[in-house]
Every structure is written in C-alpha cells, then in structure tokens.
C-alpha cells in the first residue's frame, strides 16, 4: 500500500497509479480467496452461482447472447465468428462471480486468471452451448 501512496504523492502517471491499484486489488482478492478455500467457503460460493445461464434473444436477423460474469472477449469473438449477426453481452442476467479466462491467460498468469473461480473450459463450454442454442433457434 505504501508503494501506491508514494505514486499518488509523487504525481505518477494515471497509468502507473492504476496498475498499482489493480495489483493491490488482485493481492487482496487472492488473500480473500485463499481464506475462503481454507475455511471451506469457496465450494459453497461456487455452488450458489451455478448453473450459469445463457440467454438468447432473436430480433429479426440479429441474435443477442447474454452471459453472466466477466467473460474474456475471445469467447465472444468465437461465437461471432461462427454465428452471423450475433452480439454477445457479458455481465448479463444476474451474477456469476469472477472471470472466465482463456487458457492463454491461465498460462501467462494474468491478474484475472489468478483470481478466477472457473477454469478456461468454462468459457469453451459457454461458446459450445451458445452455438447449439443459436443453431436450435435457426431451425
């Protein structure tokens, strides 16, 4: 926290300050998740947000896919690449705690992947099920 305070006091750039803030938030979140896991509360939290909901709305030639949670854009782009006139909306239809990251994010240890309750296969499953539902609507 001292490092962040020093950046602010020394008029560091907004980017430097924001990066330090995100690092701090990530560290706090890691501690919170570790405590929850140690106390056996993590599984219960996970069960409260599952199953995740996929909502699809079709208006004329356009389809709108609603996903809960903070989903990496690569998953939305995978749907859009295989389903014309489709728009994916994340953070829709209630809460799904945490990020759904790509396998690359896990491999590289990005901030979001380090504080993620779900593995990257969750994103692949969202893509697959969304495409199945879109295909079902088209018939």
Cβ(93)–Cβ(55) under 8 Å? yes
Domain ranges of the chain: 1-47, 49-139
- Kindly tell me if the per-residue pLDDT of 1 is higher than 80: no
- Residue 91 and residue 68: Cα distance in Å, rounded? 5
Rounded CA-CA distance 115/9 in Å is 29
For residue range 28-43, list pLDDT tens digits in order: 777 777 787 788 877 7
Among 135, 123, 122, CA closest to 78 = 123
pLDDT of residue 57 exceeding 80: yes
Q: What is the pTM of this model?
A: 0.73
């Amino acid at each position: 926290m001292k490092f962040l305070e020093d950046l602010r006091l020394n008029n560091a750039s907004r980017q430097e300050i924001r990066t330090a803030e995100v690092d701090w938030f990530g560290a706090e979140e890691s501690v919170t998740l570790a405590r929850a896991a140690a106390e056996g509360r993590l599984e219960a939290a996970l069960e409260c947000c599952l199953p995740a909901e996929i909502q699809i709305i079709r208006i004329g030639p356009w389809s709108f896919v609603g996903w809960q949670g903070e989903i990496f854009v690569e998953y939305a782009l995978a749907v859009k690449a295989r389903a014309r006139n489709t728009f994916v909306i994340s953070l829709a239809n209630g809460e799904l705690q945490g990020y759904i990251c790509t396998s690359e994010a896990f491999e590289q240890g990005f901030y979001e992947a380090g504080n993620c309750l779900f593995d990257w296969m969750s994103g692949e499953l969202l893509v697959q099920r969304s495409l199945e539902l879109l295909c079902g609507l088209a018939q």
